[in-house]
Structure 1
């Protein structure tokens, strides 16, 4: 996944060089940068959840026992996480399907690249996040019902 950051850095670096030193801005750098940046973000969500690196307000959370934290996690997974991300996944399917049927192209840049492959990354990333959410939910359920923490 980190290779996307390398590619993005090269593209933006080339654009800066081309724009300011050669006085010849590119037509494609903006489109590729938001597509690659978006792909990196979307595909990294599940990994970030697995590593427990998402933003969390820890003022009170860390004061609870592991079992108490697991109960809180279960509550928030059921109330917020699953409805939000499952709803987004459900809404993205016809959105992406329509994009493929239309052969959609970007309207942001001058060269109008195809955008439907990038849009396909959106439900894939959300689906992977949902799968990781199920794993985290089950991990919390095991702890909440008296089991030991699973690494």
Structure 2
């Protein structure tokens, strides 16, 4: 049950966030048109697209893990028997992934709260608030951590990737 809930949350977030790519592509096209066709470049497009891309990139971590799209080093594990491979992968989550995800989540949260308290903005002609992107990092880290829990449970319980009812 918990595996399905976590998978469904990250699947939904991934599908929603993927729309951001269309938004920042449209802004880039608009900016290029304004710059070259009308000789009137925008002052805000670069900063906005940079923040949208950052948001897009970090928020898809849990979705990517759910679909096994992260970089993996299978040179060692591919030669192992399936049972041994499962336990090596489970140990990898415990030794490497969970500590990393925990530190990423807690430090990102502190980073975001400090940015919010300081009213941090971008450096440029248009000063955009930075804290929403930093808060997205903390949310993304939490989504990555819970998706790691789901993947760990799948390994330990010997379950294949579970389909998400869309």
Q: CA RMSD in A?
A: 1.7
Correspondent of 1:53 among 65, 69, 84? 69
Q: Which runs of 5+ in 1 are unaligned?
A: none
Match status 1:127 vs 2:142: yes
Alignment of 1:51-130 (within 5 A): 51-107=67-123, 109-130=124-145
Match status 1:19 vs 2:31: no
Equivalenced residues, count: 146
Post-superposition CA distance 1:87-139 (Å, at most 9, x none)? 121112221111111222112x2110112112110100000000000111111
* CA contact 1:96–1:116 (8 Å) conserved in 2: yes
Q: Partner of 1:59: helix, strand, or coil? A: coil
Q: Which runs of 5+ in 2 are unaligned?
A: 1-16
Using the TM superposition, give the Cα deviation of residue 150 of structure 1 relative to its aligned residue in structure 2, in angstroms. 5.7
Instruction: Tell me how far apart the structure 2 counterparts of residues 11 and 24 of structure 1 sit (CA, whole Å).
Output: 14
Instruction: Tell me how far apart the structure 2 counterparts of residues 149 and 2 of structure 1 sit (CA, whole Å).
Output: 25
Post-superposition CA distance 1:52-111 (Å, at most 9, x none)? 11122333433333322211211211221111121121112221111111222112x211
Post-superposition CA distance 1:32-70 (Å, at most 9, x none)? 111111111111110110111112233343333332221
60-69 or 98-107, which deviates more: 60-69
Instruction: Tell me how far apart the structure 2 counterparts of residues 75 and 64 of structure 1 sit (CA, whole Å).
Output: 14
Normalising by the residue count of structure 2, what TM-score does the alignment of the two structures yield?
A: 0.80
Compared CA separation, residues 25 and 138, structure 1 to 2 (3 A): same
